Amino acid sequence: MKKTLILVFITLLLLTNCESQPPKTNVVLPKPQMPAEQIAQTQQPALPKDVGYEYNPQGRRDPFKSLIIKPEMAEKKKGLTPLEQDDISTFKLTAIVWSGDQFYALITLPDGKSYTAKKGTKLGLEGGVIHEITKDTVIVRHYLRDKKHKDIILKLRLEEQG
């Protein structure tokens, strides 16, 4: 009895899920012949300008450029000295020389070129200025907003020499 009841239930489910669909027939209609002028007009439909969205890139950043710019990837600005075109963190203080009371620093850039700098020389991308040179350090001062400043110290690494 249970087997027949289950069998009847399954057949009812199958019958209710079956839908009668009309048979598919493929009918090929002949293409109407149109003059070339009408074909050109039908291929390029004119859309009204107020439909859709038009992107205006004026004053906006390039969406395909990275948001993170590494110092070595920063664009070099024209009219600046080589000491102003790189980040201070990439500089290496190679030597300090003094003559009387005046100190001079020999600074090596990432490209291997060395430059002489003295007090008041501009350094780095952020517009830092050499504030003081001692016998083993160079203090670079960045002036921030509200007349505050931040000092960066370049140390002469004596253990690397000799």
pLDDT in tens, 52-87: 777 788 888 888 877 776 555 555 566 688 888 888
Domain ranges of the chain: 81-157
pLDDT at 42 over 80: no
The answer to whether 111 and 72 have CB atoms below 8 angstroms apart is: no
pTM: 0.49
Cα-only R_g, the chain: 39
- Over residues 89-116, mean pLDDT: 90
Q: What is the C-alpha to C-alpha distance for residues 95 and 104, in angstroms, rounded to an integer?
A: 8
Beta strands in the chain (DSSP E): 92-99, 102-108, 114-117, 122-123, 128-133, 137-143, 149-155
CATH topology of domain 81-157: SH3 type barrels. (2.30.30)
Structure tokens at 145: 């907003």
